């Protein structure tokens, strides 16, 4: 993750189109003229969204979402929402129609790919799928991606079948030069509820029973807080993964509202 904070912008974004991706993942397309000048030097940048009147003192209505698509020329952007019953953002997105508005600001710092990294180990849950997709789309074909993806429903694993390169400065240079080629993606699915202890055992099995590249690489670990802690410990203690730089980020916490990043 880069610690360089790009210049910040804030404004109203207006829904222009709904695009279902899977049974529980929805993409909303927005018109965002106030954000047309966003500077996005890396990949997997995010926006802050307010589902209510934005105030500096009250952040209970604020959520953070990965910027999935951005087109400065048309002043449009896309955000992907995980639809579940108990989330403020999820309820809003599920009911959102063209013309509905939010206040958005950003961008937050994105992920800067280490130039020496030859492969990616991603350990994520479904809340981090948009960020992972951004990272994969930014990489050239010479990279290898192993993705351990934990979802509540098997259907959500199909999200990574919808990758699409968006040429721009968020890509590792070799990716822009060879936009028709893709990294080798090896998917290791885990289907388990957020409170299912089986997931930790399944992760241990994946790490123990696969041969991992010996080159320098990046471990991208993101999702529910307890899952992130478990995954980071498992990766850092695995003898064959010692050459990995680890980037770990908790996007949400089971049983705690307002701790959300999608």
pLDDT digits (tens, 9 = 90+) for 150-165: 999 999 999 999 888 7
Residues 157 and 201 in one domain: yes
Q: Spell out the alpha helix ranges (H) of the chain.
A: 88-95, 129-137, 173-177, 198-208, 225-236
- Does residue 94 lie within any of the structural domains? yes
Mean pLDDT (the chain, rounded): 90
Total-model pTM:
0.92
CATH number for position 49: 2.40.30.10
Residues 253 and 134 in one domain: yes
Q: How confident is the model at residue 137 (pLDDT cuts 50, 70, 90)?
A: very high
| Domain limit, last residue, from 60, 86, 108 | 108
pLDDT digits over 51-77, tens only?
A: 977 766 677 889 999 999 999 999 999
Q: Give the residue-averaged pLDDT of 80-98.
A: 92
Residues 149 and 47 in one domain: no
Query: CA nearest 31: which of 93, 110, 96, 102?
Result: 102
Residues 39 and 153 in one domain: no
Token pair for residue 165? Answer: 């390169």
| Domain limit, last residue, from 86, 108, 130 | 108
Residues 154 and 101 in one domain: no
Domain range holding 150? 119-260
| Whole-number pLDDT of residue 180 | 61
pLDDT digits over 229-253, tens only?
A: 999 999 999 989 988 999 999 999 9
| Locus of tokens 């919808």 | 162
Residues 77 and 166 in one domain: no
Residues 103 and 125 in one domain: no
- Does residue 236 lie within any of the structural domains? yes
Query: CA nearest 138: which of 110, 116, 170?
Result: 170
Residues 68 and 103 in one domain: yes
Q: What is the dihedral of CA 77, 36, 61, 95, to 10 degrees?
A: -30
| Whole-number pLDDT of residue 166 | 66
| Whole-number pLDDT of residue 178 | 60
| Whole-number pLDDT of residue 71 | 94
Q: What is the dihedral of CA 253, 254, 257, 259, to 10 degrees?
A: 10
- Does residue 218 lie within any of the structural domains? yes
Cβ density class 43-53: b for 16+ within 10 Å, e for less: bbbbbbbbbee
Higher pLDDT, 235 or 172: 235
Residues 65 and 101 in one domain: yes
| Whole-number pLDDT of residue 86 | 75
Residues 160 and 130 in one domain: yes
Number of domains in the chain: 2
Residues 61 and 183 in one domain: no
Q: Give the residue-averaged pLDDT of 220-235.
A: 96
Q: Give the residue-averaged pLDDT of 208-217.
A: 94
Sheet with 244-253: strands ordered across: 184-191, 144-151, 119-125, 217-224, 244-253, 256-260
Q: Give the residue-averaged pLDDT of 115-122.
A: 95
pLDDT above 90 covers a percentage of the chain that reads 74
């Amino acid at each position: 993750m880069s610690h360089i904070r790009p210049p910040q912008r804030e404004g109203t974004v207006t829904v222009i189109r709904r695009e279902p991706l899977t049974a529980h993942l929805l993409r909303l397309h927005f018109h965002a003229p106030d954000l047309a000048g966003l500077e996005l030097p890396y990949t997997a940048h995010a926006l802050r969204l307010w589902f209510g009147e934005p105030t500096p003192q009250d952040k209970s209505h604020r959520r953070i979402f990965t910027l999935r698509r951005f087109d400065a020329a048309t002043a449009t952007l896309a955000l992907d929402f995980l639809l579940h019953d108990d989330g403020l953002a999820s309820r809003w997105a599920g009911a959102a129609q063209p013309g509905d508005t939010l206040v958005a600001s950003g961008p937050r710092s994105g992920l800067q790919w280490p130039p020496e990294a030859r492969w990616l180990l991603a350990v994520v849950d479904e809340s981090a799928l948009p960020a992972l997709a951004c990272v994969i789309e930014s990489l050239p074909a010479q990279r290898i991606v192993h993705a351990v993806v934990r979802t509540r429903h098997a259907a959500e694993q199909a999200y990574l079948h919808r990758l699409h390169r968006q040429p721009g400065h968020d890509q590792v240079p070799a990716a822009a030069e060879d936009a028709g080629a893709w990294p080798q993606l090896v998917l290791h699915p885990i289907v388990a509820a957020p409170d299912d202890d089986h997931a930790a055992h399944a992760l241990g099995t994946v790490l123990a029973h696969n041969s991992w590249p010996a080159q320098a690489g990046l471990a991208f670990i993101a999702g529910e807080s307890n899952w992130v802690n478990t995954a980071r410990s498992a990766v850092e203690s695995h003898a064959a993964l010692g050459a990995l730089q680890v980037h770990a980020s908790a996007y949400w916490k089971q049983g705690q509202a307002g701790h959300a990043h999608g």
